[in-house]
Amino acid sequence: MSMTFSGQVALVTGAAAGIGRATALAFAAEGLKVVVADLDVAGAEGTVELIRAAGGDAVFVRCNVTQEADVENLMAQAVSTYGRVDYAFNNAGIEIEKGKLADGTQDEFDAIMGVNVKGVWLCMKHQLPLMLAQGGGAIVNTASVAGLGAAPKMSIYAASKHAVIGLTKSAAIEYAKKKIRVNAVCPAVIDTDMFRRAYEADPKKAEFAAAMHPVGRIGKVEEIASAVLYLCSDGAAFTTGHALAVDGGATAI
């Protein structure tokens, strides 16, 4: 895959693993410098090593996206290292529920909303002024198919991902005339640690997960990375405020 990018620097949160790591590697493979942000120091350093081993340029900044001081520091480190941030992939997210809505706890609610919603909001709050000052940029936020419809036994998660789409669309309209595009990617079930934690213990659940997708399988991290790169690329210059399902047809039925 080769795409055209007018910018040179990409920032990825949740880049220590899964979709974030794959997307950081994909940006680097296109020749972009990458800011790798995560709470997980060992995992994030692993991502940086993979990028450097492939001849790319990356820097790790430890960041808990729920803490404004961390997010401010992340953007400051990105600018002091590479001078700018052209593309931001706000991808850090958690999924910890196991029960129906009435079984949820306040702690689960606060934790999920904290990372998935406040984290994305804080990142955009500190990315948009920078992109405005630079004269443009593109942001992609990780929502989910659970941001487009019901997610039984994951109601808080579903609410958090609907909120990500609300933030995405609102910011897209606010900055539409400022050369800043804001989109969301909505994966269905993707083969990551998050998926394995939820499904691997129970093979029936894994079969069920594959069958949820008309293509007959779950997705690969690279299949989300390529969608994120497309949304950042010059080829998506007319696309903003969009929530792109990458779901093996799951939301088409």
Ligand X SMILES: NC(=O)c1ccc[n+]([C@@H]2O[C@H](COP(=O)([O-])OP(=O)(O)OC[C@H]3O[C@@H](n4cnc5c(N)ncnc54)[C@H](O)[C@@H]3O)[C@@H](O)[C@H]2O)c1
Greatest Cα pair distance in the chain: 51
Residue 50: CB atoms within 10 Å: 16
User: Which residue has tokens 């196991």?
Assistant: 98
- Regarding 77 and contact with ligand X (CB under 6 A), the answer is no
Site for ligand X in 116-145 (CB under 6 A): 119, 142, 144
From 58-66, 71-79, 123-131, 229-237, span contacting ligand X (CB under 6 A): 58-66
Say whether 199 is catalytic: no
CB of 61 to ligand X, least distance (A): 10
- Regarding 43 and contact with ligand X (CB under 6 A), the answer is yes
Tokens, residue 206: 């894994």
What is d(CA 82, CA 88) in angstroms, rounded to the nearest whole number?
A: 14
Quick one: CA torsion of 20, 233, 49, 121, rounded to 10 degrees?
-40
From 99-107, 176-184, 188-196, 225-233, span contacting ligand X (CB under 6 A): 188-196
- Regarding 194 and contact with ligand X (CB under 6 A), the answer is yes
- Regarding 39 and contact with ligand X (CB under 6 A), the answer is yes
Cβ proximity to ligand X: between 43 and 104 the closer is: 43
From 79-87, 105-113, 171-179, 191-199, span contacting ligand X (CB under 6 A): 191-199
Q: Out of 82, 87, 157, 199, which one is annotated catalytic?
A: 157
H or E, element range at 183: strand 180-187
Q: Which residues pair with 10 in a beta bridge?
A: 34, 87
Tokens, residue 81: 């290292």
Cβ proximity to ligand X: between 8 and 40 the closer is: 40
CB of 138 to ligand X, least distance (A): 18
- Regarding 95 and contact with ligand X (CB under 6 A), the answer is yes
Instruction: Compute how many residues bind ligand X; rule: CB under 6 A.
Output: 31
Identity (one letter) of the amino acid at 175? Y
Tell me if 91 sits within 8 A of 67, measured CB to CB: no
Cβ proximity to ligand X: between 64 and 183 the closer is: 64
Identity (one letter) of the amino acid at 38? D
Reduce the DSSP state of residue 184 to 3 states and report it: strand
- Regarding 94 and contact with ligand X (CB under 6 A), the answer is yes
- Pairing of β 137-142 and β 9-13: unpaired
Residues carrying an active site annotation: 157
Q: Please give the residue ranges that form the binding site for ligand X (CB under 6 A).
A: 13-14, 16-20, 38-40, 43, 63-66, 91-95, 115, 119, 142, 144, 187, 189-190, 192-195
